[in-house]
Amino acid sequence: MKVLHCYRTFYPETQGGIEQSIFEMARYTAGSEVLTLSNTPGAVSVNGIPVKAERRWLSMASCCMGPSLVSDLYKKQADIVHLHFPWPFGDLSYLLGGRRRPLIVTYHSDIVRQRALGAVYGPLMRLFLNRADRIVATSPDYLASSPVLREFVDKVEVIPLGISESSYPQPAAKSVETLRERFDDGFMLFVGALRYYKGLEFLVRSAPGLPFPILIAGKGPEEKRLRALANSLGAENVHFLGHVDDEEKMALLHLCRAVVFPSHLRSEAFGVTLLEGMMAGKPLISCDIGTGTSFVNLDGETGHVIPPADVSALRAAMLDLSGNREKAADWGSAARARYEATFTGRKMAEAYGHLYRRVLTERADKQAVA
C-alpha cells in the first residue's frame, strides 16, 4: 500500500505540530511518501521517509502555492492520497491532478482568521471535501464545534493526533544542569511558534510579581511585540529563549513545573505541545476554546482548563501548581498515563492504517459492482 501525504510545508524546511503528525503517520506506514512545497525544492529522505518538495512560488494568507505540485501529484504512484486541511491550493491540486484516487483528508482546523478568503474559497472547499472518501477530525470536540465538519458528518471519523517518544532525544545531563542553575526547576514553560492565536500576550500580562520564571521557547511574528510588552510591564521573570532544538526542549520539559498553553482562538485546533508535556509527565494549563485542547487536557485530572484570554485565571492556575508540588506531580502522572493510553504515534498510525485499508476495500467493492 502506497500512501502519499500532501501538505504545504514539511521537514526539513519547517517544524510544527502538523509536520510532526505527518511524520508519525508516515513512519509507521510502509510505502508512505510526502509531497510538499519549499523554497529549496528537491528530493530528500527524512528518517527514511521519501520527501519530494516542489518549488513554492508564493504564499498568500498562509496558503502556499506552486503549480508544479499539480503535475507531480498526477504522476506520483499512490494507492491513497492523504491531504492535510486547510490548504486551498492542496484542494485544487487534488481536483486537477489527483486522478480521483482514494482520498483521506485530515481536517486540522477551520479557517478562522481569513474569513473573507474563506467565503470566496467555500465552493472549492465543499467540492473537495465532497470528493473525500473520509474526513478525519483530530478530536470529538472539534467535530462537535466545527460547522464545516458537521456538514460532512456522515463521512467524518475521529483519530486523535499522537507522537512517539522514540522520536525525541534524551536530554543530556549537562543541558539539564545548566538550565537548573539558571532557572531552578519550578518554572512555567511555553513551547511553540509565537503566533497571534497562542494567547501569549495574556501569559506575559500575568507574569509581573509571580515568584517563578516563565520561559517562552520558540520564534514567530509576535516575538517583537511580546518582548516590548514584557519590558513595558517590568515582567523580568519572562524569558524569551528563541528557537530550541529537540534536546533543549526535552531538557526544558524535564525541569519545568507545568506546561502552559494559553491559546485563546480556534486556530489552535489541538496542540501537539500538550502531548509533549504529557509525554514528559507534566501537568498542563490550557484554555477552553472548543477544540482539541480540552480533549487532550482534562480539567482537574491532567491540569487546569481555564477561560480564554483571562489573565487572572491564568495567573491563579500557575500559582496553584507552583505552590503545590504534590498536586503537580499527581496530575503529571495522570497526564503521562493518558498519553500512553490515547496519544502515542503508533496508536494514531495504526488507526490510519485500518482506515486506509477500509477505504481501499470499499473502492474495490464499488468497482466490482460497477
Q: What was the pLDDT predicted at 70?
A: 95
Residue 171 pLDDT greater than 80, yes or no = yes
Alpha-carbon gap, residue 77 to 68, rounded angstroms: 16
Residue 115 pLDDT greater than 90, yes or no = no
Residues 33-82: tens digit of each pLDDT:
999 999 999 999 998 999 999 999 877 766 787 899 999 999 999 999 99
Alpha-carbon gap, residue 352 to 346, rounded angstroms: 10
What Å distances lie between residue 263 and 84, 195, 199, 220, 305, CA to CA? 21, 9, 4, 14, 11
- Mean pLDDT, the chain, whole residue set: 93
Q: What was the pLDDT predicted at 298?
A: 97
Dihedral sign from CA coordinates of 139, 141, 144, 145: negative
Q: What was the pLDDT predicted at 258?
A: 98
pLDDT band per the 50, 70, 90 thresholds, residue 370: low
Mark out the alpha helices in the chain (DSSP H runs). 17-27, 68-75, 88-97, 115-131, 140-145, 147-151, 173-183, 200-205, 223-233, 246-255, 272-279, 293-296, 311-323, 325-342, 345-369
Other Cβ atoms less than 10 A from the Cβ of 366: the count is 9
Alpha-carbon gap, residue 159 to 212, rounded angstroms: 37
Residues 284-314: tens digit of each pLDDT:
999 999 899 999 999 999 999 999 999 999 9
Residues 118-159: tens digit of each pLDDT:
567 889 999 999 999 999 999 999 999 999 999 999 999 999
- Print the SS3 string covering 319-351: HHHHHCHHHHHHHHHHHHHHHHHHCEHHHHHHH
Alpha-carbon gap, residue 204 to 169, rounded angstroms: 29
% of the chain surpassing 90 pLDDT: 79
Q: What was the pLDDT predicted at 57?
A: 87
Residue 116 pLDDT greater than 60, yes or no = no
pLDDT band per the 50, 70, 90 thresholds, residue 167: confident
Residue 15 pLDDT greater than 90, yes or no = no
- Residue 83: phi and psi, rounded to 5, are -100, 150
Residue 112: exposed, middle, or buried by beta-carbon count in 10 A (0-12, 13-18, 19+)?
Answer: middle
Dihedral sign from CA coordinates of 135, 141, 147, 153: positive
Q: Pick left, alpha or beta for residue 256 (phi over 0 → left; psi -120 to 50 → alpha; otherwise beta).
A: beta
Number of Cα atoms under 13 Å in the Cβ half of residue 105:
26
SS3 state of residue 59: strand
pLDDT band per the 50, 70, 90 thresholds, residue 331: very high
Residue 92 pLDDT greater than 60, yes or no = yes
CA proximity to 73, closest of 105, 100, 46: 100
- Residue 25: phi and psi, rounded to 5, are -60, -45
Yes or no: say if 108 and 269 are a contact pair by the CB < 8 Å rule. Answer: yes
| Domains annotated on the chain, with CATH | 3-164+345-369 (3.40.50.2000), 166-342 (3.40.50.2000)
